[in-house]
Amino acid sequence: MSTLERIPWRRNPSAVELGFEFYLEILETRLAGEEVSLVQKLLGYFHDKLEIDLRETQARGLMHSSASVFIEYVKQVSGLDFNPSSEYWSSKGLKAFRHWKQHWAALKSRKASDVGETPFETVGASRRTHDLTRRTVTINRIIRDTALARFMKGLYDYRCQICGYTFALPGGLGYCEMHHIRPLGAPHNGDDVEGNLIALCPLHHAMFDYGVIGLAPSDSSLVSIDPSVAGIGKPLILQKHKIEKTFLEYHLQVIFGRENPARGLAEQAP
């Protein structure tokens, strides 16, 4: 059972946010002329994707023109007014809806998409009698906190899937970071999907980024170029979602041990 099931859904920001983004998709589909039951689609999405069983009255309440939790969510995130009623948007038309949706996406992206860029520096120094040589390499890691990432963190109770570690933040929540196994953006162009995500503590996140550790595609067991790393050969201790093998294979081939002669371990991984 995930931690999300123990939280009243109306107070679960991940469930509200993911549910709202899904509602925008199905509402747009309906406005485009397809026969879509908004209530049944919402019920199915909350049950299948979020493991939350809504009553039909609750699903209808999400579309209420003045008392919906979606209205509160949009206002809190962007300051925009939003009417979730399908009748309202039918009167406005598909073009007006898409215009509002684009405006919403732009505001939401600026506020909530990337919570920060953390530069990590590795400094190698060689000391001689009369000189000091310093070489600095900077790697920019973008820690993304999208709705999907927040949902996945809750799914794993904010714990690292490799070691189970977390630590408490002010306010009581634990801390973990969501790692994209095949990184987003050029040159890797990974996907922001569940199968490309793994919850990690900061240490194991950095080790993945630097290619020190990886996961064998066959059984998600840990491989490492450093024999002192704990847990080599053992599968993940926490796994509540399916990790796609293609992303693990990419990480092993392209990132794992990329500057280390022990990279051959990638080809030997089962």
Q: What is the pLDDT of residues 20-35, one digit of tens each?
A: 989 999 999 999 999 9
Spatial CB neighbours of 129, under 8 Å, sequence gap ≥ 6: none
Confidence of residue 121 (pLDDT cuts 50, 70, 90): very low
Give CA–CA dist 68/75, Å, rounded. Answer: 11
In this predicted structure, the answer to whether residue 165 has a pLDDT above a threshold of 70 is yes
Mean pLDDT of the chain: 79
| pTM score over 0.75 | no
Number of residues that make up the chain = 270
Average pLDDT over residues 80-94: 93
Residue 141 token pair: 């890691």
Looking at residues 241-262, what average pLDDT do you find? 82
Residue 108 has a CB neighbour count (10 Å cut-off) of 19
pLDDT above 90: residue 201: yes
pLDDT for residue 270 is more than 70: no
Average pLDDT score over residue span 112-133: 36
Between 80 and 4, residue with greater pLDDT: 80
Closest CA to 49 of 194, 200, 220, 181: 194
Highest mean pLDDT among 48-62, 80-94, 251-265: 80-94
pLDDT of amino acid 13: 57
Residue 110 CB partners (closer than 8 Å, separation 6+): none
- Categorize the per-residue pLDDT at 250 as very low, low, confident or very high, splitting at 50, 70 and 90: very high
pLDDT at 28: 94
Average pLDDT over residues 126-152: 52
